[in-house]
Structure 1
Amino acid sequence: MAYDLKKEEDVKEFIENLGIEYRFGCFSEKKPDSCHLLGDYLEGVKRDFAKAAKVYRSNCDESSYAKSCYKYANYNFLGKGCKQNMDEAYDYYLKGCSAGNADSCLNGGLLCVSNTPVNAQREKDYKQGLELLDKACLGNNALSCYYISGIFIQGVKDAINKDMSKAFSYSLKACELGNMYACANISQMYHKGDGVEKNEEKSKEYKEKALDMQKQLKEQMEIQFQQGTQKL
């Protein structure tokens, strides 16, 4: 059947049929990707977060579907569709991480090392946190690489020694993955000879790289702002 997506009735029918398709794929055909799409449908279209949470959890538990583990963990972290539960969030970030989701590794690692108010009651585990953050970094999560570099730049009293060589290594990867702040840090490290042999030419190269990223980001924000004002 062809839909005219300019007509409101056709759009509504198309959306309803999507839900039917995802339910069939999930419950009848037992397809994990269909179950995850059903969760997204319940979340984004129906705005039924409680049902979406149940679908994500079931798909994680039964199929180890990494994205569903990550979404259910986020729901617990935010208290969305379920009661806020940091321990449950952490457990499902671990499941998502084990299933290969780098964002799950990042968030699980952050729960081990962060001092945010929402996470204040959890006991810190820097060893486990670094392992999870490193796994996320290996999965090419730029923020995780940058976060670890910051830990080694500052060190953590009675837990992690300052190590500029490791900081440089993680900053370099974060920069290569597109993290502007990591590129700026690499420039400073080359300039000062922190964790790497001093090299003014390299320092200039990474400074220009960071500035170029900053320029691109500014241009993107200006385009988004202009598009937003045009819709008003």
Structure 2
Amino acid sequence: MKKIVFILFLLCGVNLLWANDSRDEFMQDYNACKNKDEQSCKKLISLFEPRCNDESLSQEDRGFACSVVAVAYDFNEKYHEAASFFQKGCNFGHGAGCAELGILYYEGWGVRQSFEKAASFTQKACDLGHGFGCGQIARLYALGEGVKQDFKKSFSFAQKGCDLNDALGCGILGILYEGGWGGVKQNKAKAKEYFGKACDLGEQVGCDGYKRLNSK
């Protein structure tokens, strides 16, 4: 299960940064931390951990702050600490925190490996409107990992994920339409359409599927 590209959930959707924060400075620290700059990671943690714990802030703000702290730990492969703060972010309703926590449980990084918990947290992320979580729970239902294999549920979650521009969700739709699985009739035209969207969103499975169908 691949890792999240964090920029999207950190900067999209809501006013995630406080009035006195510099978005440019935040992104500079974020990118440096992503490249294993320890001081930049420490700076993010020192700035956002107090906000994660600040009871005067909204749950949305606290959830975001907790997830930023988790990201900083995650980039430095301190997965136990990352899991703790992703859990806090998830508890505050931050969908990306739930999705990333699901990945940690799937891989067994910083926590005891559990496909069941991976499924639970990625589904919660999807329920919170996080497209990546929808794509991941669709994948788990397709494979029967942590949940009973169910192609109809896989299709449903993949559709929601693709509607939210999740590449994996679109790719799974392409696979299901190509094979006629998940309660849908085989439809090569729709399969090609969804493979194409998945490819445009950066999913190699989509590019391979589109090329395969386009050559027939």
- Bigger RCO (CA 8 Å, 6+ sep): 2
Is 1:128 matched with 2:153?
yes
What amino acid sits opposite 1:54 in the alignment? S
Kept in 1: contact 2:131–2:165 (CA 8 A)? yes
Kept in 2: contact 1:172–1:186 (CA 8 A)? no
Q: CA deviation at 1:142?
A: 2.9
Give matches, 1:2-151, under 5 Å: 15-28=41-54, 30=57, 31-45=62-76, 47-61=77-91, 63-114=92-143, 119=145, 122-151=147-176
Structure 2 distance, partners of 1:39, 1:86, is 21
Is 1:180 matched with 2:207?
yes
Whichever structure has more helix as a proportion of its residues is 1
Kept in 2: contact 1:43–1:52 (CA 8 A)? yes
Q: Which protein shows a greater Rg?
A: 1
Q: CA deviation at 1:53?
A: 0.6
Task: Write the deviation string for residues 129-170 of structure 1: whole angstroms up to 9, x where unpaired.
Answer: 1000111111112332232212221234x9654233432442
Structure 1 distance, partners of 2:200, 2:39, is 45
Kept in 2: contact 1:171–1:186 (CA 8 A)? no
- Going from structure 1 to structure 2, the CA distance change for 1:168 and 1:49 (only over 3 Å counts) comes to closer
Q: Percent identity?
A: 20
What amino acid sits opposite 2:187 in the alignment? D
Task: Write the deviation string for residues 190-220 of structure 1: whole angstroms up to 9, x where unpaired.
Answer: xx5xxxxxxxxxxxxxxxxxxxxxxxxxxxx
Structure 1 distance, partners of 2:64, 2:193, is 36
Structure 2 distance, partners of 1:172, 1:17, is 40
- Going from structure 1 to structure 2, the CA distance change for 1:175 and 1:68 (only over 3 Å counts) comes to closer
- Going from structure 1 to structure 2, the CA distance change for 1:172 and 1:18 (only over 3 Å counts) comes to closer
- Going from structure 1 to structure 2, the CA distance change for 1:159 and 1:24 (only over 3 Å counts) comes to same
Taking only aligned residues, the RMSD between alpha carbons, in angstroms, comes to 2.7
Long gaps (5+) in structure 2? 1-36
Q: Which residue of 2 aligns with 1:207?
A: none
Please give the TM-score of this superposition, normalised by the length of structure 1. 0.64
Long gaps (5+) in structure 1? 1-10, 193-232
Q: Secondary structure at the match of 2:96?
A: helix
Structure 2 distance, partners of 1:112, 1:155, is 16
Please give the TM-score of this superposition, normalised by the length of structure 2. 0.68
Kept in 2: contact 1:134–1:145 (CA 8 A)? yes
